[in-house]
Chains A and B, each alone.
Chain A
């Protein structure tokens, strides 16, 4: 059976598909958040060195990973939009940016809360933290640049270029703890495996999966609003059942 991959690259068809998918992602995200937090705060044992303080990783690590994943996806959509001139790609990129910025902010914030009691400092200009802060600024810059240009198609192109160029920062964040001396510790989850306790791993990966589902649900909701706003003058929008009241 041949699948027409391009069918859902049109805002007209994607709008309906997204509407059907959102509840599934939202409900499973809520369930997984509950399970992940339960394992993380009740089942997982305390850490030998940090005691109970280490439990910040169940929020901090998934948030940091999401902030980097989402940036790469945003840059990917931005590139697709620039190269193929598809409307939906640019809308997806703008829909991802606020969620990515939120995760970057959570990552920096929880890191600071943990850093004060553990390291003895809220903030240190080391390579890992500085490059993550730059990631937050890239997200905010993308949103601001897009908002500052009135013509949406021109705004898409300008912001897309910023997103693509900024993607150089993501590998720098990831490898910063390897390339330089930093206060931030090295990677616990490596491609070669991890030395982490099993319950801690389960909690962290459940939370990561929950963050993914949450991000997808929120991005789809946001892209539906963007589609409605951008295509408000088209006939298919006026023919939507929710418009006829």
Chain B
């Protein structure tokens, strides 16, 4: 082998070795690299007991309730499989909305509710103007309506 081929092999082996090492480290840490736990993981007791942790998911539709002091908010985080109630006293970020992503950090107290110290909104990857978002919602509603209307007539054979 020429010296430059030797150097090439050396570099390739070094990069491969480091990649494998980093891969193994990240694999070992996979639980810790995640920023939050899902409600399902909370129900499976995978979360630290009696300590503060983060829970993430969607804010359940219709679950956001403000108390009379105007600051305390109660809502439910769902991953569409399990749900978990959260209470938070403070100012919510702009993107906090029902049906949207959220990450809450806090402790679960004896009442079985997470008392959050911090609530963060998680943005999704969709960028569109408000008119397009409206049109999308209307189309979805129309689709649902036409499906409901079409359901009884499924048995009717379509003439071709």
Are A and B physically bound partners? yes
Q: Contact check, A82 vs B7: say whether CB atoms are below 8 A apart.
A: yes
By size class, the interface of chain B is 35 or more
B132: chain A residues within 8 A (beta carbon)? 48, 197
**Selected contact of B35 from candidates A49, A120, A124, CB within 8 Å:** A124
Q: Contact check, B15 vs A119: say whether CB atoms are below 8 A apart.
A: no
Q: Count of A-B contacts with CB under 8 A?
A: 117
Q: Contact check, A186 vs B125: say whether CB atoms are below 8 A apart.
A: yes
Are A83 and B8 also in contact (CB < 8 A) when A118-B95, A119-B93, A188-B126 are? yes
Interface size on A (CB < 8 Å)?
Answer: 42
**Selected contact of A181 from candidates B26, B34, B95, B126, CB within 8 Å:** B34
**Selected contact of A180 from candidates B14, B35, B103, B121, CB within 8 Å:** B35
Q: Contact check, A197 vs B35: say whether CB atoms are below 8 A apart.
A: no
Instruction: Write the nearest CB–CB distance from B86 to chain A, whole angstroms.
Output: 14
Instruction: Write the nearest CB–CB distance from B118 to chain A, whole angstroms.
Output: 7
A47: chain B residues within 8 A (beta carbon)? 127-130
- Interface residues as binary, A39-78 with B (CB distance below 8 Å gives 1, 0 otherwise): 0000001111110011001000000000000000000000
Q: Which residue of B lies closest to A130 (CB)?
A: B33
Q: Which residue of B lies closest to A117 (CB)?
A: B94
In the complex, which of the residues A57, A126, A161 has the most CB atoms of chain B within 10 Å of its own CB atom?
A: A126
Chain B, 76-104, CB within 8 A of any chain A CB: 92-97, 100, 103
Q: Contact check, A50 vs B11: say whether CB atoms are below 8 A apart.
A: no
In the complex, which of the residues A54, A57, A185 has the most CB atoms of chain B within 10 Å of its own CB atom?
A: A185
In the complex, which of the residues A84, A121, A167 has the most CB atoms of chain B within 10 Å of its own CB atom?
A: A121
Instruction: Kindly state whether residue A133 has any CB partner on chain B within 8 Å.
Output: no
Q: Contact check, B11 vs A82: say whether CB atoms are below 8 A apart.
A: yes
Interface residues of B: mostly helix, strand, loop or mixed?
A: mixed
Interface residues of A: mostly helix, strand, loop or mixed?
A: loop
Q: Which residue of B lies closest to A126 (CB)?
A: B35
Chain A interface (Cβ < 8 Å from any Cβ of B): 45-50, 53-54, 57, 79, 82-85, 117-121, 124-127, 161, 164-165, 167-168, 172, 179-183, 185-188, 195-197, 200
A-B contact pairs, 7 of them (CB 8 A): A49-B133, A83-B8, A124-B35, A168-B18, A168-B19, A168-B22, A197-B127
Chain B interface (Cβ < 8 Å from any Cβ of A): 4, 7-8, 11, 14-15, 18-19, 22, 26, 30, 33-36, 38, 56, 92-97, 100, 103, 118-134
Q: A46-B130, A118-B121 are known contacts; what are 18 more A-B pairs with Cβ within 8 Å?
A: A45-B130, A46-B129, A48-B128, A48-B132, A82-B7, A83-B8, A117-B93, A119-B95, A120-B118, A125-B35, A127-B34, A164-B14, A168-B19, A168-B22, A181-B35, A186-B125, A197-B129, A197-B132
